[in-house]
Chains A and B, each alone.
Chain A
Amino acid sequence: MLKLFLWLRYLRKKKIVFLSIAAVALSVSLLIVVASLFTGFINTFERAAVEAIGDVVLAPLNKFAKPTMFAKYGLFIERLEQTEAVEAATAMLSAQGLLHLVEKGNVRAVAVWGIEPERRVKVMGFDRFLLRQRNSGGKPSFDTNGSEEKLGGFVGIGVLGEPDEKTDKYDFDAIEKMFGEEVVLTTGTVSQEDPDSQTRAEVKRKVMKFTIADVVETGVYQFDKGCVYLPIEELRKYLYPQEKPVASQIQIKLADNTDTDVALAVIRGVWQDFVEDELGGNLFLMNANIMTAKQIQSRQVAAYRKQMWILLLIFGVVSLGVVLLIFCIFYMIVRLKQKDIAIIKSCGAAGSSVAWIFVGFGSCVGFIGSGFGVLLGYIVTKNISTVEEWIRIIFGLKLWKSSVYQFSKIPNEVNWFWALVFVLLAIIAAAIGTLIPAIVAAATKPVEILRYE
C-alpha cells in the first residue's frame, strides 16, 4: 500500500517521469508499426501466392528438368478430388507471349495462362478478381456478349493501363472502355529435338486474336501487370493443335485442417499411380515438382524476414536510450527524495523493500508507456493508408506504390505477438533502467540523511 501511495505521489509530483513514459511509448509504437507492416507484408506476400496458384502446385518436369506438359489432366483431377486431403484442383497451361493492344504501337510482354475458370473459382476464389463478373453472382466465363465466334480472354488490369503516378489508382472508366476490344497475342511453342528421327527443335510462332471479356484485378502488381488468361482448351488448340488436352500445372486447394506434409504425400502417391496407369510410367514425369505455395516463396520470405529482424535490431538498439533516460530520471528522483527514503528506512523498511519501490515504479512506467505505445502503434498501423495519403497530400511524397511493393493495399494488421514481445521488453528495460538508482536508494543511511546538522 505504501509502495502504491509513493508511486502515485511521485507520478503526480515529478512530472519529468512522464518524459520516460513518452519515450517508452514512442519506441514501443515505432517497433510495433515496423514489425506489423513487415509481417503484414510477408503474410500478404504468402497469401497472394496461395490466391494466385493455390495451396499446392504440381508441375511435371521433362528429361532436361524443365517444366513440361502432360495429358489426361481431367482424370488426374478427378482422382485428386476423391482423396480427403484435396478439396479442389484445377489445370493450367502456361506460355509466354507478346500482346498487341488496340492503341497505336502498344505491345507488352505477358505471361499467358490457359485456365478453367469454374474450377479456378473453387481453388482460389478467382471470380472475386474479375471486374465485370464479380458481382454478377454467376459462374465466371470467357463469353463475349453472346458472340460464340469470338474467342474471349481476361487481361490483367495493369496490362491495359498504368496506375496513376500520384494516387496509384487505375482509371476504371478507361479500363471499362476496353471491354469487348480485340487484341492480338503472339506466343509460341518449341518442338522437341529427336535424334532418332534426326528432326531438329523448331520454334513455331502462333498469333491469335481474342476479345477482352473481363479484366482481372488481383491487387498483386506482378500478376495484374503481366498476365493474360485464356480458356485452357482454346490455348491448347493454338499451341499444340496435334495434342490431346494437356496441362503444364495442376493447382490444388487442400481440405481444411489437412496436415500439409500428409497432403503432399497423398498428392505424390496419386500422381505416381496416375503416371503409372495413364502416362506409361514415365520416370521423368514421376518426379514432378510438388510444392506448397509457401515453399515456392520461402527464399524470398526468408530474405524479407531477415530485413525485418535487422530493422528491429537497429531500432531496438537505438531504443536502448530509453533505459538510459529512465536511469537518469530515477537517479534524480532518488537523489531528491533521499529524506523520504531515510524516513521509510528509519521506520524499519528493509533495503530490498526500498529498492523494490523504485524497481516496481520503473516497471509501472514501462507498463504505462508500453500501453500508450501499443495504443499509438495500433492507431498508426490501422490507419496507415490514411497516414500515407496525408503525407502524399501535404508533402507530395507517394510512399506506397503497387509497382514497387507489389500490392495495391498497405497491410494494416497489427501483429499482436510482436506487440506483446515489445511490451514485455519495455517493462524489463524500464526495470533495468531503475536498478542502479534502486540500489543507491537501498544503500541510503537514515542516520546521515536525517541528521539535524
Chain B
Amino acid sequence: MHKIILAVRYFLKRRITHFAVLAVALCVFIVVVVMTVMTGLVRDFKQNNHNFVGDCVVGTESLVGFAYYEDFVNILEQQKDFIEAVSPVIKSYALVNVINTENNPGLEILGIDPVKHSRVTNFANTIHYQKGDVSKTFVPSYDPNLVGCVLGIELAFERDLNGNYYYPNTCPRTGYSISCFPLTAKGALSKAGTGLVRTKTFYFSDTSHSGLARVDFLLVYLPFEQTQQLCGMDGPTKRVSAIHIKFKPNIKLQTGCEKVAVLWQKFKQEKADEKQAYLLDTVTVQSWKNYRRASIAPMENEQTELIVMFAFVGITNVFIVLVVFYMIISHKSKDIGILKSIGVSNADIMVLFSGFAFLVGLLGSGIGLFAGRLFLLKINRIEDWLFERFNWQLYDRTIYTIGDIPNRVEFNVLAIIALSAIVACLAGALVPSWQAARQKPLDTLQVNQL
C-alpha cells in the first residue's frame, strides 16, 4: 500500500513529473495520429488489393497463358466445402485507340465474365452505370447491340480538386479500337486472321473504380470470349492467364490455398501426357497477398521505416523520464533511507519507483491517446477547412488516389503505442530506481546529512 501512496504522492508533489507526462503525451499523440493514418492507408490498400484479386489465384505470368483450364475450373467448382466461386481471366497488353483521336496508349487488358468475376472479387461494386445488373456490364446503355468495355476510372474521367469523379448522367458513347498480339501456344506470334495483330472495336459501357492507382490508370476490362480471340487463346485448346478463386467465409486463407495447391498438383500430373502440358509448368498457386506482394510490400516497408524513426525519436522520452527520476530520487534520499530502515527491501524500492514510472507512462499515454483520438475524429473536417480557407490538402487528390484521410482507430495499434510508452517510462526509470535501491540508510540518515 505504501508503494501506491508514495507513487501518487511523488506524482502530485513533484511538479517536474508533469513534464515527463507532457513529453510522453506529446510523443504518443503524434505517433497515434501518424500511425493511424499510415495504418489506415496500408489497410485500405490491402483491402483494395484483396477486393481486386479475390482470395487465391492459380495463374501464370506468361502472356501465352495455360491450357485445360476448363477441366480445372470444373474440379474447383466441385469443391463446395471450401470454394465459393471461381473466375477464369485473360490478361494481356493492348494498344487502345480512342476512335477519332490520335491517342493510342499501350494498356493492360483483362478479359472477364463479369458475373463470375463479381462472385470472386468486388468488381460489381467498382462499376458505376451498371451497378444494379452486373451481367450487363459490357452492354452499352446507348446501343445494346455493341460490344462494351469497362475502363479504369482514371482512363475515363477526371477528378476534381476534392478527389471526386465527375460521372456524366448517361454513359458517353465512345469507341475504342483495341489491338493485341495473338500468341500461339508455343509463344510465337500467330499469323492467322488479320496478320500479326488482331484489332477489334469496343464501346465504352462503364468504368471501374478499384481504388488501386495502377489498375484505375492502366486497365481495360473486356468480355472474356472476345479477349480470348484477341490474344489468340481461342484455339482448339483454349487458354487463360489465371483462375481467381474465392473461399467460403469460414476457410482460412492459408488452408484454402494449400488445398488448391494440392488439387493443382494432382491435376498437373493427370494432364502430364497432354500436348500442351508444358504450359502448366509456369502456373503457380498464390494467395492474394503473395500475388500482389510487389505492390503491398513497399507500403509495409514505409510503415516499418516510420516506426523505426519514431522509435529513435522516442529515445528522448526515455532520457526525460531518466532525468526526472534521477532528480526525484536525489531529493528523496531521506524517504528512501527511512523506508529501508523500517525493513523495506531493495526490490520493494525498485517496485515503488517502477510503479511511479508506470503511472507517468499510463497518464502520459492516456492523455496522448485521448488527444490523438479527438484529433483523428476531426482530421477530415480540419483538412476540408484548410482546403477551403488556404487551398491546402494533406494529399493532393488530383495526384493521389485517396479519398478521405483514414481515421479509423485500430485498438491493437493504440494498445501497442500505449504499451511502448509505458515500457519507455519503465526503461527510463530503471537506472535511477536501481540507484535508489542501492542507497544505504546509514549514509542517508546520518545527522550531518539531515
Enumerate chain A interface residues (CB-CB to B < 8 A). 16, 19-20, 22-23, 26-27, 30, 34, 62, 64, 66-68, 95-98, 100, 103-111, 184, 186-190, 192-193, 201, 203, 205, 207, 299-300, 302-303, 306, 310, 314-315, 317-322, 324-325, 327-329, 331-332, 335-336, 397-399, 401, 403-404
In the assembled complex, the Cα of A34 lies from the Cα of B313 at a distance in Å of 13
Which chain B residue has the least Cβ–Cβ distance from A110? B106
**Closest residue on chain A to residue B186 by CB atoms:** A104
Report how far A437 CA is from B16 CA in the complex, Å.
12
| B125 within 8 Å of A (CB atoms) | no
A-contact bits for B83-102, CB 8 A (1 contact / 0 none): 00000000011110101111
Contact check, A336 vs B104: say whether CB atoms are below 8 A apart.
Answer: no
B169-197, CB < 8 A from A: 177, 179-181, 183, 186-189, 195-197
Q: Is the CB of A336 within 8 A of B312?
A: no
B327 — which chain A residues lie within 8 A by C-beta?
328, 331-332, 335
Q: How far is the CA of A299 from the CA of B398 in the complex (A)?
A: 10
Q: Are B319 and A98 in contact (CB under 8 A)?
A: no
Given contact pairs A317-B26, A319-B316, A98 touches B106 in the complex (Cβ within 8 A): yes
Residues of B207-233 whose CB lies within 8 A of A: none
A26 to B316, Cβ gap below 8 A?
A: yes
Asked if B164 lies at the interface with its beta carbon under 8 angstroms from chain A, I say no
Q: Which residues of A contact B298 (CB under 8 A)?
A: 401, 404
* Residue from A27, A30, A320, A397 within 8 A of B304 (CB atoms): A397
Q: Given that A104-B186, A108-B93 are contacting pairs, would A321 and B179 also be in contact in the complex, using a CB cutoff of 8 Å?
A: no
Interface centre among B30, B93, B102, B305 (most CB of A within 10 A): B102
Residue in B106, B186, B294, B323 whose CB lies within 8 Å of A325? B323
B39 at the interface (CB under 8 A from A): no
Question: Other than the known A310-B394, A321-B313, what 12 A-B pairs have Cβ atoms closer than 8 Å?
Answer: A19-B322, A30-B312, A104-B187, A109-B106, A187-B95, A303-B399, A303-B400, A320-B26, A325-B23, A325-B320, A328-B323, A332-B326
CB of B354 within 8 Å of the partner chain:
no
Q: Tell me which residues across on chain B come within 8 A of A319, comparing CB atoms.
A: 313, 316
A253 to B28, CA, bound (A): 51
Closest B residue, CB atoms, query A307: B395
Chain B 274-313: CB-based contact to A (< 8 A → 1; otherwise 0): 0000000000000000000010001001001100011011
Chain B residues near A332: list those with CB within 8 A.
323, 326-327, 330
Q: Roughly how many angstroms separate A188 CA and B317 CA in the complex, as a whole number?
A: 63
- CB contacts (< 8 Å) of A20 on chain B: these are 319
Q: What are the 4 A-B residue pairs with the smallest beta carbon separation, nearest first?
A: A104-B187, A109-B106, A105-B64, A105-B187
Q: A203 and B97 in contact (CB under 8 A), knowing A184-B189, A300-B399, A303-B399? A: yes
Considering the complex, give the chain B residue whose CB is closest to the CB of A68: B102
CA distance A135 to B80 in the complex (A): 63
Q: Smallest CB–CB gap between A408 and chain B, Å? A: 15
- The answer to whether B101 touches A190, judged by C-beta atoms less than 8 angstroms apart, is yes
- With beta carbons under 8 angstroms apart, the residue of A62, A103, A322 that contacts B316 is A322
Q: A188-B179, A317-B30 are in contact. Are A193 and B100 (CB under 8 A)?
A: yes
Is B196 in contact with A318, judged by CB distance below 8 angstroms? no
- Interchain Cβ contacts under 8 Å between A and B, 22 examples: A19-B319, A34-B309, A66-B101, A67-B102, A98-B94, A104-B62, A106-B63, A106-B187, A108-B93, A110-B106, A111-B106, A203-B179, A303-B399, A318-B30, A318-B310, A321-B316, A324-B23, A325-B319, A328-B320, A332-B323, A335-B327, A401-B298
> What is the CB-to-nearest-CB distance from B250 to chain A, in angstroms, rounded to a whole number?
33
User: Is B19 part of the contact surface with A, judged by Cβ < 8 Å?
Assistant: yes
Which of B102, B106, B195, B312 touches A207 (beta carbons < 8 Å)?
A: B195
Q: B132 in the interface, Cβ–Cβ < 8 Å?
A: no
Contact indicator B197/A321 (Cβ below 8 Å): no
When C-beta atoms are compared, the residue in chain B nearest to A330 turns out to be B323
- Which of chain A's residues have a CB closer than 8 A to the CB of B103? 66
Note all chain B residues with C-beta closer than 8 A to A403.
Answer: 294
Question: In the bound complex, do residue B316 and residue A186 qualify as a contact, i.e. CB atoms below 8 Å apart?
Answer: no
Determine whether the beta carbon of B64 is less than 8 Å from that of A318: no
Identify which of A97, A203, A317 gathers the most chain B CB atoms within 10 Å of its CB. Answer: A203
Which residues of chain B from 304 to 343 have any CB-CB distance to chain A below 8 Å in the complex? 304-305, 309-310, 312-317, 319-320, 322-324, 326-327, 330-331
B443 within 8 A of A: no
- What total count of A-B pairs have CB within 8 Å? 180
- Chain A, residue nearest B313 (CB): A318
B34 proximal to A (CB < 8 A): yes
Using known A-B contacts A66-B103, A203-B177, A399-B301, determine if residue A105 contacts B183 with beta carbons closer than 8 Å.
yes
B186, B187, B320: residue with the most chain A Cβ atoms closer than 10 Å: B320
Alpha-carbon gap, A203 to B200, bound state (A):
11
A336 to B189, CA, bound (A): 86
User: Which residues in A have their C-beta under 8 angstroms from that of B395?
Assistant: 303
How far, in angstroms, from A110 to B106 measured CA to CA in the complex? 7
Q: Is the CB of B99 within 8 A of A315?
A: no
B396 and A315 within 8 A (CB): no
Contact between A314 and B93, CB atoms less than 8 A apart: no
Contact indicator B93/A109 (Cβ below 8 Å): yes
- Scoring A19, A107, A111 by chain B CB atoms within 10 A of each residue's CB, the highest score goes to A107
Out of B94, B313, B323, name the residue touching A329 (CB < 8 Å): B323
Q: Identify B315's interface contact among A23, A109, A201, A306, CB under 8 A.
A: A23
A421 to chain B, nearest CB (A): 18
- How far is A320 from B395 in the complex, measured between Cα atoms in Å? 25
Q: Find the B residue at minimum CB distance from A112.
A: B106
Q: For A207, give the chain B residue with the smallest CB separation.
A: B196
Q: Which residues of A contact B62 (CB under 8 A)?
A: 104-106
Closest to A67 in B: B102
A contact residues around B384 at 8 Å (CB): none
CB pair A318–B26 under 8 Å, yes or no, is: yes
Contact B316 A23 (CB under 8 A): yes
* CB pair B107 A188 closer than 8 Å: no
| CB-CB contacts below 8 Å: B353-379 with A | none
